[in-house]
């Protein structure tokens, strides 16, 4: 299933659903937090047509053709409104691409090995290189991003990766998300290692890079369709400051966060200003 949009008026949403039904395209409506009602497309082969029709509808939702469609299908509809929530896996897949899902699956799988008592083998295999001959084991410059040390750690990072990485992959493609992942994992890993040594891990440096990238792209090139709500930016920046203030009561890879954010902002600036 594909999520098309979230509307705050369920009657208007139902009018669009009825109109698309008259064109042979099935949509469903599902309630979301903050009073929104999401429109979900059943069949992905109609995605382009559905998005084009949705843009026309949003420009003029009171057009007579939508009201007429509601009257036409009213008799065949068994209930005035029908809400069907998509499955959890369907929701996760709809908001992410293959690379987003691959990294999430790898992070969760590695953490399960961690819980099964394989902490030492996992960390020995995947930690950032100590520069004592293992710098030629190139996977280490990136694999540290997949290691997590607690349930809260892996859930927090995977959630932000899904939100931010999923948006970037859906809008700009898997290659762009892979590029941001590799560069930010490398930069944030070197920064954390340089200041504090190799005992770190997690996706948070990459997550902060995605924050910076999407934030700056939404600011400098809004036509690219990337955006992030301001409360998200404020929350993540406050979390960054609190980490440096050392009042969270936990070990935080502050330099990985900071340099991940800076690398993402730099990539966003380069893509917005130097590339079409």
Please state which CATH number belongs to domain 95-274.
1.20.1540.10
User: What is the Cα–Cα distance from 243 to 250, expressed in whole angstroms?
Assistant: 9
**Which residue is associated with the tokens 């709500």?**
229
Question: Under a CB-based contact definition with an 8 Å cutoff, are residues 15 and 58 in contact?
Answer: no
Q: How far is CA 193 from the centre of its chain?
A: 27
| Residue 81 pLDDT > 50 | no
User: What is the Cα–Cα distance from 184 to 142, expressed in whole angstroms?
Assistant: 9
pLDDT in tens, 207-247: 999 999 999 999 998 888 888 888 999 999 999 999 888 88
How do the domains of the chain map onto residue ranges?
2-90, 95-274
Q: What is the pLDDT of residue 152?
A: 92
Domain 2-90: top CATH class:
alpha beta
Told to judge if 22 belongs to the known catalytic residues of this protein, a careful annotator would answer no
User: What is the Cα–Cα distance from 242 to 228, expressed in whole angstroms?
Assistant: 21
**What residues are paired with 38 via a beta bridge?**
6, 30
Q: Is the dihedral of CA 106, 138, 207, 170 positive or negative?
A: negative
Told to judge if 148 belongs to the known catalytic residues of this protein, a careful annotator would answer no
pLDDT in tens, 91-142: 777 778 899 999 999 999 999 999 999 999 999 999 999 877 888 899 999 9
Q: Select which of 172, 188, 204, 263 is catalytic.
A: 204
């Amino acid at each position: 299933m594909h999520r098309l949009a979230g509307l705050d008026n369920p009657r208007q949403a139902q009018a669009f659903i009825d109109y698309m039904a008259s064109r042979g395209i099935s949509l469903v409506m599902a309630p979301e937090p903050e009073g929104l009602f999401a429109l979900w497309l059943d069949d992905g082969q109609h995605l382009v047509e559905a998005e084009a029709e949705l843009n026309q509808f949003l420009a003029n939702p009171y057009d007579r053709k939508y009201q007429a469609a509601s009257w036409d299908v009213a008799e065949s509809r068994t209930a005035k409104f029908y809400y069907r929530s998509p499955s959890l896996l369907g929701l996760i897949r709809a908001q992410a691409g293959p690379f987003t899902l691959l990294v999430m699956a790898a992070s969760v799988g590695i953490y399960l090995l961690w819980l099964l008592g394989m902490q030492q083998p996992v960390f020995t295999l995947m930690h950032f290189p100590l520069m004592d001959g293992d710098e030629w084991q190139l996977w280490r410059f990136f694999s540290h991003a997949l290691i997590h040390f607690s349930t809260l750690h892996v859930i927090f990072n995977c959630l932000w990766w899904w939100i931010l990485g999923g948006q970037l992959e859906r809008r700009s493609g898997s290659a762009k998300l892979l590029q941001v992942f590799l560069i930010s994992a490398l930069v944030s890993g070197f920064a954390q290692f340089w200041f504090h040594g190799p005992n770190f891990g997690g996706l948070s440096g990459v997550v902060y890079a995605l924050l910076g990238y999407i934030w700056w792209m939404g600011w400098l090139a809004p036509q690219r369709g990337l955006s992030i709500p301001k409360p998200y930016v404020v929350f993540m920046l406050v979390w960054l400051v609190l980490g440096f203030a050392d009042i969270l009561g936990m070990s935080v890879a502050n330099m990985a966060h900071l340099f991940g954010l800076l690398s993402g902002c730099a990539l966003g600036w380069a893509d917005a200003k130097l590339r079409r």
